[in-house]
């Protein structure tokens, strides 16, 4: 397409799969049964993705427990009482806490790609969690015989290996999920924590060639879970200047649900470097109403007033179901919204003459 359009990643899992994931965690069913359901869900997800006309697809993160915790699958050096993330509607999510070193990923994101590519006829994108999000696993009080400096060195190596595993398994593009960006500003208004996060992620990116980094993008949003956010009250202006110093080829930016998108778009346009593309969110995943293609088109045209079409793309504000147990949005709604994004982006390209 003249204006590229890509998904963020997660699609609501079928209820049968969600129930099976819970049953497996309780020990009520075996791995073989669960793997068969993963296979069926990925096959159907990709079939429906391609039916929308989407030029790039994903596996919908059907086999991930969540977008954030997949690397921890199978690890035994964790406790359940880690950092708590509160959402605006009152519910919370809690990360595990590392209790001993060394830190290693139990699962790499690239391991999900062979199953997806078995069914896909179009390029497959893979999302990975940021190193900065994983850094929240290390407790403030430290760990005996495993100082934070050693943890961060191990974390960088593992995050590099995670991205590399995606390239090695045929990913068209790799998207780093950095939904904790605005949260960092909320937790530390001085900006110091955000600067630490940006520095850590750039340290990971420094291990890749310029050509490889052009195939890597960063996604940011104020968190999205059960139709609520954790940091939408944080001004984008406190995030964007530092966010755009990340050394990647693309940025996937929540915008459809933003209160004042024109102000943010102007800021992005002034900071985007010549080799970078901004994928603007034109689908509000927290709103159950399906956008019309005309609404999407209008959002694209509004973005094009600030960002040249040659450096513009479209996406969804966030994943539709970042956590495996999220049932706020139906699969039908998610795919209807994706189809609207594809059609609306195409219509906008025609109106822009590109």
- pLDDT, greater one: 143 or 260: 143
**pLDDT score recorded for residue 90:** 86
Residue 111 covered by a domain: yes
In a domain, 1, yes or no: no
For residue 161, what is the enclosing H or E element?
helix 148-168
Q: Is position 144 within any domain? A: yes
CA dist list (Å): 114 to 187, 247, 251 = 38, 28, 25
Domain count, the chain: 1
Please report which confidence band the pLDDT of residue 41 belongs to, taking 50, 70 and 90 as the band edges: very high
Domain-embedded: residue 348: yes
| CATH, residue 314 | 3.20.20.210
Tell whether the model's pLDDT for residue 13 goes beyond 90. Answer: yes
4 part of a folded domain: no
Cβ(198)–Cβ(246) below 8 Å: yes
Find the mean pLDDT for residues 4-12.
95
pLDDT of residue 325: 78
So what's the pLDDT on residue 323?
A: 84
Q: What is the pLDDT of residue 195?
A: 97
Q: What pLDDT was estimated at residue 86?
A: 85
* Residue 5 in domain: no
Which pLDDT belongs to residue 331?
95
Residue 138's closest CA among 167, 93, 96? 96
Q: Is the pLDDT of residue 327 over 80?
A: no
For the stretch 196-219, pLDDT in tens is 999 999 999 999 999 999 999 999
The predicted-structure confidence for 85-133, as pLDDT tens digits, reads as follows 888 888 889 899 999 999 999 999 999 999 999 999 999 999 999 999 9
Q: Give the per-residue pLDDT at 334.
A: 96
Cα(67)–Cα(140) distance, integer angstroms: 24
Mean pLDDT of the chain: 95
Max Cα–Cα distance, the chain, nearest Å: 62
Q: What is the pLDDT of residues 52-64, one digit of tens each?
A: 999 999 999 999 9
Q: Is the pLDDT of residue 291 over 90?
A: yes
Task: Supply the pLDDT for residue 1.
Answer: 60
pLDDT of 295 higher than 70? yes
Task: Give a yes or no: residue 193 inside a domain.
Answer: yes
Asked if residue 10 belongs to a domain, the reply is no
What is the arithmetic mean of pLDDT over 166-188? 95
Using CA atoms, how far apart are residues 73 and 220, in angstroms rounded to an integer?
A: 24
Tokens of residue 154, six digits: 């191990």
**Cis status of the peptide bond prior to 102, with omega within 30 of 0:** yes
Tens of pLDDT, residues 235-286: 999 999 999 999 999 999 999 999 889 999 999 999 999 999 999 999 999 9
Which residue range(s) make up the domain with 216?
15-352
Bridge partners of 127? 175
Write down the pLDDT at residue 322: 83
């Amino acid at each position: 397409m003249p204006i590229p359009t890509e998904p963020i990643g997660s699609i609501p899992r079928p209820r049968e799969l969600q129930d099976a994931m819970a049953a497996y965690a309780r020990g009520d069913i075996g791995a073989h049964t669960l793997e068969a359901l993963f296979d069926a869900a990925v096959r159907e997800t990709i079939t429906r993705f391609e039916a929308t006309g989407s030029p790039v697809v994903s596996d919908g993160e059907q086999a991930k427990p969540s977008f954030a915790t997949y690397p921890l699958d199978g690890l035994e050096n964790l406790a359940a009482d880690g950092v708590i993330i509160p959402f605006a509607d009152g519910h919370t999510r809690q990360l595990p806490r590392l209790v001993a070193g060394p830190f290693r990923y139990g699962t790499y994101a690239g391991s999900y790609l062979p199953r997806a590519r078995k069914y896909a006829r179009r390029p497959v994108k893979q999302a990975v969690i940021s190193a900065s999000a994983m850094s929240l696993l290390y407790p403030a009080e430290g760990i005996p015989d495993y100082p934070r400096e050693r943890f961060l060195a191990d974390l960088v190596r593992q995050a590099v290996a995670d991205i590399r595993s995606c390239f090695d398994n045929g990913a068209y593009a790799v998207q780093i999920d950095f939904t904790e960006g605005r949260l960092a500003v909320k937790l530390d208004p001085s900006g110091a924590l955000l600067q630490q996060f940006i520095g850590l992620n750039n340290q990971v990116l420094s291990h890749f060639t310029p050509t490889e980094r052009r195939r890597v993008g960063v996604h940011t949003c104020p968190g999205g879970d059960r139709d609520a956010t954790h940091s939408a009250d944080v001004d984008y202006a406190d995030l964007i200047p530092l966010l755009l110093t990340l050394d990647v080829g693309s940025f996937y930016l929540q915008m459809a649900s933003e209160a004042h998108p024109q102000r943010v778009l102007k800021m992005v346009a002034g900071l985007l470097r010549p080799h970078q593309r901004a994928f603007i969110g034109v689908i509000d995943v927290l709103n159950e109403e399906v956008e019309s293609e005309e609404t999407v088109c209008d959002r694209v045209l509004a973005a094009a007033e600030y960002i040249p079409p040659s450096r513009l793309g479209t996406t969804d504000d966030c994943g539709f179901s970042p956590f495996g147990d999220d049932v706020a949005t139906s699969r039908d709604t998610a795919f209807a919204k994706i189809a609207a994004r594809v059609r609306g982006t195409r219509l906008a390209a025609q109106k822009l003459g590109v």
